[in-house]
């Protein structure tokens, strides 16, 4: 496999920034009253028609890029839980990667020097990716140096061995750039990849958690309404709604009708996975309702 020179990022044929800008411009132009929408209208109609041919009824759907806003309501009317995503807003999944540069040998000076040289090469690559926008941040720890005298399989203590190590971490926002960079650093026997943790960006996480929490509350209200209907009660009003475990206990009062929905915890993918995994966001809410 061919590798890029140290400190040089892989070439990018298409610019993600320009793609995002073109998408946003198209969406803005579609807000004009007389904008042509026949293509997106035909696409929405075709999707709905094809789904009607299926022998099963989908429970969930992810709608990406429907700037007409027609597909999601049509699916929701059929009882499908719809999640919408706009490519113009960007997909900001992140991968936090950690690598360790480690060297050893009989002489302390050359061992430390080789560790610093290898770490400098890794840093050059991260700086290049930072400048190209594929890395949002990176850091490097100081060189750690220690010595020990190992034992052989015959129980004899061997001469002193010196060790040096440098830990580096970076946050990649581009899966392709991460794969390319890891391929380069893995060619050195002195560099070990210790972890790759996929996660949501802070902005995406806040937005998704708010959406999931709102969905959890809606389900709790619907569940309480169903209980009230079963009891022949007409109206239901929320008394308290909070995250799980935050409702005040009232042991002296009769147990109120409640509803709980298990829905957010950000769960990242397994270490060393170079493909962004599905990240599950869950929200747990508790509610007390009054029915009359």
Secondary structure of 148-204 as H, E, C letters: ECCECCCCCECCCEEEEEEEEEEEECCHHHHHHHHHHHCCCCCEEEEEEEEECCHHH
Average pLDDT value for residue range 218-222: 85
Structure tokens of 274?
């170079």
pLDDT at 139: 95
Instruction: Give tens-digit pLDDT for 117-138.
Output: 999 999 999 999 999 888 999 9
Q: Are 130 and 197 in contact (CB under 8 A)?
A: no
| Statement to judge: residues 241 and 153 lie in one domain | no
Sign of the dihedral defined by the CA atoms of residues 209, 248, 292, 255, in that order: positive
Confidence category of residue 161, pLDDT binned at 50, 70, 90: very high
Give the contacts of 41 (CB within 8 A, at least 6 positions apart): 68, 70
Instruction: Give tens-digit pLDDT for 64-97.
Output: 888 888 898 898 888 888 877 766 655 547 889 9
| Average pLDDT score, the chain | 79
Please give the tally of structural domains in the chain: 3
Confidence category of residue 269, pLDDT binned at 50, 70, 90: very low
| Statement to judge: residues 65 and 156 lie in one domain | no
Q: Which domain holds residue 207?
A: 202-291
| Statement to judge: residues 254 and 227 lie in one domain | yes
| Statement to judge: residues 85 and 98 lie in one domain | no
Q: Which of 2-11, 56-65, 200-209, 244-253 has the lowest mean pLDDT?
A: 2-11
User: What's the pTM value of the predicted model, to 2 decimals?
Assistant: 0.55
Q: Whole-angstrom Cα distance, residue 209 to residue 84? A: 14
| Statement to judge: residues 193 and 219 lie in one domain | no
| Statement to judge: residues 194 and 142 lie in one domain | yes
Q: Evaluate whether residue 3 is within a structural domain.
A: no
Q: Are 286 and 219 in contact (CB under 8 A)?
A: no
Q: Evaluate whether residue 187 is within a structural domain.
A: yes
Q: Whole-angstrom Cα distance, residue 246 to residue 284? A: 11
pLDDT at 268: 39
DSSP secondary structure of 74-86: HHHHTT-EEEEE-
CA distance to 27, 57, 93, 227, 236, per residue, from 258 (Å): 43, 30, 36, 9, 11
Query: What CATH number corresponds to the domain at position 116?
Result: 3.30.70.120
| Statement to judge: residues 229 and 138 lie in one domain | no
Cα 146 to chain centroid, rounded: 37
Helices (H) and strands (E) in the chain, counts: 6, 10
| Statement to judge: residues 156 and 99 lie in one domain | yes
Out of 199, 229, 252, a domain closes at 199
């Amino acid at each position: 496999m061919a590798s890029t020179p140290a400190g040089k990022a892989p070439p990018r044929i298409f610019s993600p920034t320009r793609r995002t800008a073109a998408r946003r411009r198209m969406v803005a132009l579609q807000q004009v009253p007389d904008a042509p929408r026949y293509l997106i209208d035909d696409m929405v109609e075709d999707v709905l028609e094809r789904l009607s041919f299926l022998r099963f009824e989908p429970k969930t759907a992810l709608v990406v890029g429907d700037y007409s806003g027609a597909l999601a309501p049509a699916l929701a009317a059929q009882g499908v839980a719809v999640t919408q995503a706009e490519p113009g807003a960007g997909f900001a999944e992140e991968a936090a990667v950690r690598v360790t540069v480690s060297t050893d040998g009989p002489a302390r000076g050359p061992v430390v020097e080789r560790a610093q040289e290898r770490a400098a090469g890794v840093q050059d690559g991260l700086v290049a990716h930072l400048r190209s926008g594929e890395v949002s941040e990176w850091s490097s720890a100081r060189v750690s140096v220690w010595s020990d005298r190992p034992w052989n399989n015959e129980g004899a203590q061997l001469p002193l061995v010196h060790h040096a190590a440098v830990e580096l971490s970076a946050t990649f926002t581009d899966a392709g750039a991460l794969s390319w960079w890891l391929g380069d650093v893995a060619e050195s026997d002195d560099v070990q990849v210790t972890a790759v943790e996929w996660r949501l960006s802070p902005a995406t996480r806040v937005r998704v958690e708010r959406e999931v929490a709102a969905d959890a509350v809606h389900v709790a209200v619907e569940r309480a309404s169903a209980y009230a209907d079963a009891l022949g009660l007409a109206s239901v009003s929320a008394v308290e709604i909070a995250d799980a475990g935050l409702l005040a206990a009232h042991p002296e009062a009769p147990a109120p009708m409640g509803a709980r929905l298990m829905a957010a915890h950000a769960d990242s993918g397994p270490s060393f996975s170079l493909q962004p995994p599905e990240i599950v966001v869950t929200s747990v809410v508790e509610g007390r309702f009054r029915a009359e």
